[in-house]
Chain A
Amino acid sequence: MPGSTLLHIDGVEKRFGGFVAVDGLSLEVKAGEFFALLGPSGCGKTTLLRMLAGFETPDCGRILLDGTDIAGVLPHRRPVNMMFQSYALFPHLNVSDNIAFGLKRAGMARDEIATRVAEMIALGRLEGLERRKPNQLSGGQQQRVALARALALRPRLLLLDEPLGALDKKLRDSTQRELMDLQRRLGTSFIIVTHDQDEAMTMADRIGVMNHGRLVQVATPRQLYEQPASRWVAEFVGDVNIFEGRIERREDQRLVIACHNTGAIVAAAPRQSLAGEAVCVAIRPEKMKLSRQGPAEAAIQAGAINRLEGTVSNLGYLGDISSYGIALDAGATLRVSVTNTARVDVDDFRPGERVVVWFEPDDCVVLDP
């Protein structure tokens, strides 16, 4: 039943002493979905995951799995499995026995266990390592054993707590792809907790951004990046230039905003209603264009395009992109990134050079300050 609701979290709250870790949170996760919980450390994402696994009991609220409330069910009786951040492999058991641990507890027949373990060994590409103890494995191999062990019982829902946190960057990238492939193939719902937004953006169908125990936005990676629900989300996910100002006038689909240190910015009117006249304008660095002349004068006169003048103050070359720091004449500093599409004959902007920064009204997101 792809698309049907598998998990329904309803008004769940958890306090530790006076600290509210999860604050009346509600969320639905669909069967077969890859869902990421993203947030800064201490935002409550791990506590929420631990409540799903059964290691913490919510103070109030319901956790419905396939319509059954599991909020008070002990961890060993839940049809949910978890992959731990530290992997938590049993050091005294070899790879096969680690994978078979849950199968034995489930009372599966001997030959059935052997078949399933072999299947999981193949799934985790662990052939030849069956008799190794965890401390004889590399970090990447340990990670795959932990995943195979958590998937061996074929849970409807797999919880992953920072599953790639201990891997180096190269391995992390390839493992991300493996995890996505695996999730599509098995159709298991994954809920992953991460503080790494690239990881969440790459892998997840939907991302729930958490802060102070609440979900501040639940959206697809694209929505999250292009239509952040608040200034906090815009600043938390990716790089962004934020200009504060006041709405000067409204003209059908557009707002003209007088910003304190850039001058007037023409922005597309937001879909959501704004709290007041004081607003901020968020523009991603790659949405801005940089040139020595700027766009055609006609376009500017039509009011279609924002044009800001300034000086290059610094430049960072990152290979795929170059990131420029620009000091505007009006006082603001901003970052503009330019994709390096050509390899030779590149005419970089030098620090101290006069430049024009321009961008479309549609590239601006107007948010409450």
Chain B
Amino acid sequence: MSTRQLFTRPARRAAIAPYLWMVLFFLLPFAFVAKIALSQSALAQPPYLPTFDLTAGWEALKAAAATLSLDNFRLIFSDELYANSYLRSLLVAATSTTLLLLLGYPVAYAIARLPERWQPIAMVLVIIPFWTSFLIRVYAWINILQHDGLLNQVLMALHVISAPLVWLSTDSAMYIGIIYSYLPFMILPLYASLAKLQPSLLEAAQDLGASPAKSFWLVTFPLSLPGVGAGVLLCFIPIVGEFVIPDLLAGSGDMMIGQTLWLEFFANKDWPLAAAIAVMLLGILLVPLLVYEHIQRRQLEGKQ
């Protein structure tokens, strides 16, 4: 059935709303950012040139447009610093997302297997940390991870270690922070897809001779893949652009792209270069999004 038949006229009008939203809050701001990315940094207010003055007339606009260039992008490609930043971001995001999936799946699975009246309570427990500011929670980790912090005290009390370990300002600290912060985003979509699973499907698998472990791999896991996809995207994409956690918990060595961007924008006041970094980042992140979209569309087509 085509969309035309499916929706009534008012419904079709309402269907425009998301596109309008996209134009207003994504395309338009993105156009501004893209324009800044093509500009040159300058000692001015705002700190870049050219600026388009709509009152100056057509010829002036044309002249301003002619000064736009891809210089900033050339710079990003020529300096290894940026490539390393991008790579580190992707690597950190991929590692964290893998760890998040390994940690989040058993939790989501366990919650989905709880008696029905306990499930909402368990979900509230997963979400409750959001009631405290994100920044405060990351700062709290500084306390926990520092030299005489809670983690070292506990490990020493348990005689796991004899002298305090250095946690803060290491990649370990950053990964702890990221995994702690993003775990709910992994658990929620996983739980949603696992809770939908009909128990009779598992019974059918066992009735046909599959052991409980086999039933999990042949039925539960494949049917939870939409949740896995959503959870992976929901974590991977923001982690690639993560700034606060690496800035507060990681060492001062390699930087993630969010940190590099912050540096260019605030420290170097180079808005155009920062904008170019942001545009490139968006381009990189479009890849996994498009792959996910493609898979989803194929599944949708399968349903029709």
**Chain A: residues with CB nearer than 8 A to chain B?**
53-55, 74-78, 80-82, 84-86, 88-92, 101-102, 105-106, 133, 135-136, 149-150, 153
Contact = CB atoms under 8 A, between A and B. Distances in A.
A57 B134 CA distance: 49
Contacts of B203: 53, 55, 75, 82, 84, 88
Given A76-B211, A92-B223, A135-B303, A84 B200 contact: yes
Contacts of A150: 207
Contacts of B205: 90, 101
Contact of A53 (B207, B214, B215): B207
B223 A105 contact: no
Contacts of A81: 207-208
B10 interface: no
Most A CB within 10 A of own CB, among B201, B207, B212: B207
B46 interface: no
Chain B contact-residue range equals: 20 to 34
29 contacts: A53-B203, A53-B207, A54-B206, A54-B207, A55-B203, A74-B206, A75-B203, A75-B207, A76-B206, A76-B207, A76-B208, A76-B210, A76-B211, A76-B212, A82-B204, A82-B207, A86-B200, A88-B204, A90-B204, A92-B222, A101-B205, A101-B210, A105-B209, A105-B210, A133-B302, A133-B303, A136-B302, A136-B303, A153-B209
A105 B208 contact: yes
B190 to A, nearest CB: 17
A101 B204 CA distance: 10
B201 A90 contact: yes
Contacts of A149: 208
A102 B209 contact: yes
B204 A84 contact: yes
Contacts of A89: 204
Interface in B202-234: 203-212, 214-215, 218-219, 222-223
Contacts of A136: 302-303
Most B CB within 10 A of own CB, among A74, A75, A77, A105: A75
- List 4 tightest A-B contacts by C-beta distance, closest first: A102-B208, A105-B209, A88-B204, A88-B200
A149 B232 CA distance: 34
A86 B201 CA distance: 9
A75 B210 CA distance: 9
A80 B198 CA distance: 21
Nearest to A82: B207
Given A84-B204, A92-B223, A133-B302, A106 B209 contact: yes
A92 B218 CA distance: 10
Contact of B201 (A82, A88, A102, A105): A88
B209 A91 contact: no
A78 B204 CA distance: 13
Interface string B183-211: 00000000000000010110111111111
Given A55-B203, A84-B203, 19 more contacts: A53-B203, A75-B206, A76-B206, A76-B208, A76-B212, A77-B209, A80-B207, A84-B200, A84-B204, A89-B204, A90-B201, A92-B223, A101-B205, A101-B210, A105-B208, A105-B209, A135-B303, A150-B207, A153-B209
Contacts of B204: 82, 84, 88-90
Most B CB within 10 A of own CB, among A55, A78, A88, A89: A88
B194 to A, nearest CB: 14
B48 to A, nearest CB: 52
A367 B208 CA distance: 46
A106 B210 CA distance: 9
B1 to A, nearest CB: 15
Contacts of A92: 222-223
Contacts of A80: 207
A239 to B, nearest CB: 35
A136 B302 CA distance: 8
Contact of B219 (A55, A75, A76, A90): A90
Contacts of A77: 209
A135 B111 CA distance: 28
Contacts of B215: 76
Contacts of A55: 203
Most A CB within 10 A of own CB, among B198, B201, B215: B201
Nearest to B302: A133
B223 A91 contact: yes
Contacts of B206: 54, 74-76
Contacts of A90: 201, 204-205, 218-219
A153 B303 CA distance: 29
B226 to A, nearest CB: 10
A78 B203 CA distance: 13
A135 B208 CA distance: 21
A29 to B, nearest CB: 18
A86 B211 contact: no
B207 A105 contact: no
B180 to A, nearest CB: 33
A360 to B, nearest CB: 50
Contacts of A86: 198, 200
Contacts of B211: 76
B152 to A, nearest CB: 47
